[in-house]
Amino acid sequence: MLFARRALPALLGAAGVAASARANPPGGALGRILARGRIRIGVWLEGGPYGFRRPDGALSGMEVETARDIARSLGVEAELVPMAFSQRFPMVAGGSVDIGCALMLITPPRLRQVAFAAPHGEFSTVLATTRHLDVTSLAELSGRRILALSNDMLGDDPGLPPDAEIHIIPSYDRAIAMLHAEEAAAVVVGLTTFRRLALAHPEEQMRILAPLGEFRYAVAAPLGEPDLLRFLNTWVFLRDEDGTLATLYETFFGGPRPVVARL
């Protein structure tokens, strides 16, 4: 199989998983996952190469395949649970899923909500607009509507006018429609998403107005689950070492994986 590797099963095989289960306190998340033989993993399916639904209905994308590899490494079934972008962190923190593998951006406020494993990717956001809107500077966004899937994507200091209105949207399809109808002046997107949207909607003549934020993303788990987090950190380390993460990135993005800075 494309993403199968021997290193992690060798180190976290039956003996390793059993040891984790014994160390896990009764009722701990890792123990419950092993007992039920299934891990519920939240995924985002409107993220292009990060997560999408194929025409035949099958789920795919880099984060989706990452989720499946985590389940295989634990020796349990993967139950993939679609999540809206704005609901990613509430669903993980509230226990609706065991973990989130859905472009979980690491930001200071989110560190108080969930526990992050070691980061396995980096993500850049930009502010994009269309040529027919004739916006040329951030100052021109004063009093105007800016679209975003969540406030996380803005970065620490986006430099936006204080009276700009951030409007949360459910999807980028909605963003394109609102920009076309001049119901908004700009949209916050990932750099790779911008490229995809620009190719898919050449009639809009999308362009980048300004860079916004640089993020790392990681698998997220509920707070207070040290054994589950320890497993996830080990998984990231070994999958980085054996090349799985690089293979996944190259498969879905068509180029070499950037070096990811550790926390």
Establish if 1 belongs to a structural domain.
no
Distance from the first to the final alpha carbon of the chain: 31
User: Which pLDDT value is given to residue 251?
Assistant: 95
Establish if 261 belongs to a structural domain.
no
Kindly state whether residues 55 and 156 are assigned to the same domain. no
Q: Is the pLDDT of residue 188 over 60?
A: yes
Kindly state whether residues 116 and 14 are assigned to the same domain. yes
- 190 touches 154 (CB < 8 A): no
User: Which pLDDT value is given to residue 1?
Assistant: 42
Establish if 107 belongs to a structural domain.
yes
Establish if 2 belongs to a structural domain.
no
Kindly state whether residues 114 and 53 are assigned to the same domain. yes
Kindly state whether residues 158 and 191 are assigned to the same domain. yes
Q: What is the pLDDT of residues 248-262, one digit of tens each?
A: 999 998 888 988 876
Phi, psi of 58 (to 5 degrees): -70, 145
Axis-axis angle for helices 226-241, 29-36 (nearest 10): 70
Q: What is the pLDDT of residues 84-101, one digit of tens each?
A: 998 999 999 999 999 999
Q: Is the pLDDT of residue 5 over 60?
A: no
Q: What is the CATH number of the domain that holds 23?
A: 3.40.190.10
Kindly state whether residues 74 and 169 are assigned to the same domain. no
User: Which pLDDT value is given to residue 252?
Assistant: 93
Percent of the chain with pLDDT over 70: 89
Between 90 and 23, where is the model more confident? 90
**pLDDT class for 152, splitting at 50, 70, 90?**
confident
**How much helix, strand and coil, in percent to the nearest 5, is found in the chain?**
40, 25, 35
Q: What is the pLDDT of residues 94-137, one digit of tens each?
A: 999 999 999 999 999 999 999 999 999 999 999 999 998 989 99
Encoded tokens for 174: 């909605």
Give the Cα separation of 125 and 158 in Å (integer).
Answer: 10
Q: Model-level pTM? A: 0.85
Kindly state whether residues 129 and 114 are assigned to the same domain. no
Residue 109's contacts (CB-CB under 8 Å, 6 or more residues apart) are none
Q: Is the pLDDT of residue 42 over 90?
A: yes
33-52 average pLDDT score? 94
Continuous H helices in the chain:
7-11, 14-23, 29-36, 62-74, 88-93, 108-111, 172-180, 191-200, 226-241, 244-253
Kindly state whether residues 226 and 115 are assigned to the same domain. yes
User: Residue holding tokens 């119901």?
Assistant: 183
Kindly state whether residues 48 and 139 are assigned to the same domain. no
Q: What is the pLDDT of residues 61-71, one digit of tens each?
A: 999 999 999 99
Kindly state whether residues 69 and 114 are assigned to the same domain. yes
Kindly state whether residues 115 and 64 are assigned to the same domain. yes
- 45 touches 52 (CB < 8 A): yes
Give the domain range for residue 130.
123-215
Residue of 221, 211, 225 lying closest to 96 (CA atoms):
221
Q: Which of helix, strand or coil describes residue 216? A: strand
Establish if 37 belongs to a structural domain.
yes
- DSSP letters, 36-91, are HTEEEEEE-SSSGGGSEE-TTS-EESHHHHHHHHHHHHHTSEEEEEE--GGGHHHH
Encoded tokens for 78: 């993967």
- 246 touches 42 (CB < 8 A): no
